[in-house]
Structure 1
Amino acid sequence: MKVVVAMMKHETNTFSPLVTDLARFEAWGLHFGPAAESAYAETAMPMGAYIRLCRARGAEIVTPVAAEAMPGGIVTRDAYETLAGAIVEAVAAGCDAVLLDLHGAMVAAHVADGEGELLRRLRAVAPRVPIAVTCDLHCNLTRAMVDHCDALIGYKTYPHVDMAEVGERIARVLFAAIDGKARPVMAFAPIPVLAQTLRMGTDDEPMKGLIAEARALEAEGFLAATVFGGFPMADVPHAGMAAVVVGDGDPAAAGAAVERLAALARARRDDFLYPHEPLEHALDRAAALGDAGGGEAGGPVILLDHADNCGSGGTQDVMGVIAAVIERGLKDVAVGAVYDPEAVKTMAAAGVGAEVSLALGGRLDMPALGLKGRPLALTGRVKVLTDGRFVVRGPMYTGVTVEMGPTAVLSVDGGRVEIVVTSHHHEPWDRGVFTSVGIEPEAKRFLLLKSRIHYRAGFAALARATVTLDGEGVTTSDNGKLDYRRLRRPLYPFDRIN
């Protein structure tokens, strides 16, 4: 058996000014041919699970590409065609099965539905070759994705700590079909709800209940069942929630099951909206929590600068929340992280121990929000300089090597605040963001993270409390700040739905 195994992943924020070209994929991880297999074989990623199962079957494995970029703006035509072309070419050369590790929210300059278009091309060159797909929980699922593969599944956890598990499940479904032991049929239900990412944590309601229902369907005998929260920072017609169920030879049963999931999501639609709070009120609560203890005595208080989360396409250089934290006088704070390659160069030239004055962050404008970049003038001491490389040891992306690029730690406000400054975008979902630069996160009173929910993978066990800070940025949870023009209608919360 010859199996094509490939990964092509990007969560596209159409409001983000960040250009997603091949260089951005290279910054996170871009591998072609055998190097792709080597890079992911021992990881807890869907591609890793695929490779292990193929090896167990004695299959010949072809890995044309493994590509992922940190979320950002629209993917360039060249990047899309290079990556998709490599996969299509490998499948066209002949194979017995295809296993794909995709995201489900890729938007390219010339293709609004990146994954659907890839699968359409694969079906055109190999109409009878079975294809299985793993997608992110934030997939904006389309009819094209479902129609052009044989089995599709999404993560059931956010933060995504079950990537290998769901990859293995859908690969086993495909192999069972090849072996004549299953007849996968899929039912798809778009759900007209644009949910807020901050309301999709699977340890919390309403997503917790939806995931429980999907697991119950699998326990009843369905081959796979998924509820997608969708990715709301994409101005495309298919943005929003969806559900898909893979049945075994019974389309009617799969259809009834997927409607169970869709109806439950529609009934909980109000719970998917994030309630906002004035920043000054949230900082008052944070200060009170910090005064009550922290650090080694009781664990840090987590502060979330969620509107500037590069894990959803944020610029990661908006300084408003950081400035407010410093002005409020919070002490013993570690910030992870600010993207500013120029500031890192300045600190590297000065050297460890040097005092520097610089304008940190605020280098990127956000035209979609009508916001100009506003640097923060700071004077501090260069505490650490590193290459920004570490291997993830936590439960999400386990075994993957992270490249933050040249990285520095700037100690400001008399040492009360330490800011990790990176040359590549990276969301702080693993403690390595801090430990790789000599900061012990568990010993801090506050951890200020540019994250939404993924931080829980590495930091939830440390946190004494979490405070969400509503700042500015292209990952805002305030729909009123985003100029949507292409969404399907009706769509909640913009319209009434049944």
Structure 2
Amino acid sequence: MRILIAMMKHETNTFSPIVADWQRFQDWSAYLGEDALKAYEGTGMPFGAYVELARAAGAEIITPVAAEAMPSGPVTEHAFNMMADAILEVVRDGVDAAMLDLHGAMVAEHTDDGEGTLLEKIRQIDPDLPIAVTLDLHCNLTDKIMDNCTALIGYKTYPHVDMYEVGKQIGEVLLDSMAGKVTPVMSWGNTQLLSQTLRQGTDNEPMATLIRMCEEAEQEPGVLAATAFGGFALADIRDAGNSVIVVTDGDKAKADEVRDRILARAWDLREDFIYEHTPLEDQVAKAKDMTEGPVLLLDHADNCGSGATQDVMTVIEEVLRQGLEDVAVGAVWDPAAVQEMQKAGVGSTITLKLGGKTDMPQIGEVGEPLTLTGTVKTLTNGEWIVRGPMYTGVKVFMGPTAVLETENMEIVIVSNHHEPWDTGVFTSVGIQPEYKRYLILKSRIHYRAGFAPIGKATLTLDGKGVTTSDNNLLRYEKVRRPIYPLDLINEA
């Protein structure tokens, strides 16, 4: 048995000015052929789970590509084809099954539905190929995705600490179907809800309720998998928003019933999926009164893990203005600043115009650097391995990295975008985050994977950036209408 295993992942923020070209995939993780297998076998990714299942089945494993880039603007057609063509070539050569580690919110220059386009092309080559797919909790599910695979599942955690488990679950469903043990039947639907990522943490309501319903449904006879997707609202495409997919063993009526039950509950909870803002200065003032640290300060509007530029200095400037002390920042993206610090050398005093290198025309903002004077404390190559519960075992490439130490703040400055979901963003450069009074994290929810165990309190700071939760700043043109909260809807 020959099994194709591949990863092709990107969460596209159509409001982001950052280009997702092939170099961006290479900067994060892009491996071809045997290098893909070596990079991801044994990791806590769906790809790792697929490999384990295929080896247990005695299958020949073909891994044409494992590529992922930090979220950003649309993927270039060239980059899309680099990944898709590698997969399609293997399908043309002939395989018995495909296990795909995808995202579900990829928008490319030539298609608003990257995953659906890939799956459709695979089906055109081999209409009967058994295909298993794992998707991110922030997937925007489409007909094209659903029509061109055998069995599909999404993560049940945000931060995504169950990637391996869901990969194994749906991979087993596929292998069982090939052995004639089950007959996967899928039912899906979406609701008129464009929920915000900041309200999708699965440890909290309202998402916790939907996840619990999925877990309970999977205990019912004949239900093989059930997923409630929060969707990714920052992808302005027709099908953006909340959806549900249910896989049963040959029972379409059962799949429909479970789907409708969960969708109805999602709609009932719609108001809870919308974030309420608080003035930035008020939140920083509240933080200043907190004496036990570390206090986690979330610069969520500038979260590169959802496509932000990661160089907006608004929150950092306000924290400095109010005089918070013993602060560490993870991280600011500014390759030019890193180069200046490399030239100056460790121990040197340097004045930098930090950040603010990127304009954000989609939200009407221009980059505004912040002039800071400090000491070059650390210089590294930015490479380390994740030891925490999310992306476990995966090597991180922050690119050339530096730490600028001012009187009351240590700022990690990176050359490649990286969301701080693991404490390694600090420990790799010699900072012990658990002993800091404040940690500014350019993150929304993923920070919980590495930092929740050490944080004594958490505050969201409403700064600027293209991952804003203020819908008034975003111009939607493609999403299906009417949709809540962009429109007032009395009934689903």
> TM-score, normalized by length of structure 1?
0.98
Amino acid at match of 2:205: E
Amino acid at match of 2:270: R
Partner of 1:424: 416
Partner of 1:316: 310
Partner of 1:53: 53
Partner of 1:345: 339
Alignment partners' CA distance in 1, 2:302 and 2:427 = 22
Alignment partners' CA distance in 1, 2:368 and 2:188 = 44
1:465 Cα shift?
A: 0.2
SS of 2:51's partner is helix
Partner of 2:301: 307
Q: Is the Cα–Cα contact under 8 Å of residues 41 and 51 in structure 2 kept in the other structure?
A: yes
Alignment partners' CA distance in 2, 1:111 and 1:89 = 20
List per-residue Cα deviations over 1:326-355 (Å, max 9, x = no partner). Answer: 111000000000000000000010000000
Alignment partners' CA distance in 1, 2:259 and 2:207 = 16
Alignment partners' CA distance in 2, 1:459 and 1:494 = 33
Alignment partners' CA distance in 2, 1:449 and 1:230 = 23
1:98 Cα shift?
A: 0.4
Amino acid at match of 1:48: G
The 5-angstrom pairing of residues 41-440 of structure 1 reads 41-221=41-221, 222-289=223-290, 292-294=291-293, 300-412=294-406, 414=407, 416-440=408-432
The 5-angstrom pairing of residues 12-31 of structure 1 reads 12-31=12-31
Amino acid at match of 1:419: I
List per-residue Cα deviations over 1:416-441 (Å, max 9, x = no partner). Answer: 10000000000000000000000000
> TM-score, normalized by length of structure 2?
0.99
Amino acid at match of 1:158: Y
List per-residue Cα deviations over 1:203-247 (Å, max 9, x = no partner). Answer: 000000100000001011310000000001011111101000001
List per-residue Cα deviations over 1:28-81 (Å, max 9, x = no partner). Answer: 010011111110001000000000110011100000100000000110010011
1:494 Cα shift?
A: 1.8
Alignment partners' CA distance in 1, 2:347 and 2:319 = 24
Alignment partners' CA distance in 1, 2:292 and 2:103 = 40
Q: State yes or no: 1:478 paired with 2:470.
A: yes
1:358 Cα shift?
A: 1.0
List per-residue Cα deviations over 1:167-200 (Å, max 9, x = no partner). Answer: 0000000000001100000001112100010100
SS of 1:223's partner is strand
Alignment partners' CA distance in 1, 2:292 and 2:179 = 59
Q: Is the Cα–Cα contact under 8 Å of residues 292 and 456 in structure 2 kept in the other structure?
A: no
Identity %: 59
Alignment partners' CA distance in 2, 1:281 and 1:232 = 27
Alignment partners' CA distance in 2, 1:389 and 1:255 = 46
Alignment partners' CA distance in 1, 2:200 and 2:33 = 35
Alignment partners' CA distance in 2, 1:259 and 1:90 = 37
Alignment partners' CA distance in 2, 1:160 and 1:95 = 30
Alignment partners' CA distance in 1, 2:80 and 2:18 = 16
Alignment partners' CA distance in 2, 1:51 and 1:153 = 17
Alignment partners' CA distance in 2, 1:381 and 1:431 = 22
Amino acid at match of 1:36: A
Alignment partners' CA distance in 1, 2:373 and 2:441 = 21
SS of 1:219's partner is coil
Alignment partners' CA distance in 1, 2:110 and 2:128 = 27
Alignment partners' CA distance in 2, 1:263 and 1:37 = 41
Alignment partners' CA distance in 2, 1:212 and 1:267 = 15
- Number of aligned positions between the proteins: 489
Structure 2 unaligned spans of 5+: none
Alignment partners' CA distance in 1, 2:136 and 2:237 = 17
1:284 Cα shift?
A: 1.3
Which stretch has the larger CA shift, 277-286 or 418-427? 277-286
Alignment partners' CA distance in 1, 2:237 and 2:89 = 28
Q: Is the Cα–Cα contact under 8 Å of residues 11 and 72 in structure 2 kept in the other structure?
A: yes
1:163 Cα shift?
A: 0.1
Q: Is the Cα–Cα contact under 8 Å of residues 283 and 459 in structure 2 kept in the other structure?
A: yes
SS of 2:289's partner is helix
Partner of 1:460: 452
Alignment partners' CA distance in 2, 1:284 and 1:155 = 36
List per-residue Cα deviations over 1:247-280 (Å, max 9, x = no partner). Answer: 1001111011111110010110000000100001
List per-residue Cα deviations over 1:106-156 (Å, max 9, x = no partner). Answer: 000001000001010011001011001000000000011011001000000
Alignment partners' CA distance in 1, 2:365 and 2:140 = 27
Alignment partners' CA distance in 1, 2:249 and 2:92 = 28
List per-residue Cα deviations over 1:375-394 (Å, max 9, x = no partner). Answer: 00011100000010100000
Q: State yes or no: 1:2 paired with 2:5.
A: no
Regions of 4+ moved over 2 Å = none
SS of 2:377's partner is strand
1:293 Cα shift?
A: 2.6
Alignment partners' CA distance in 2, 1:237 and 1:394 = 35
Partner of 1:297: none
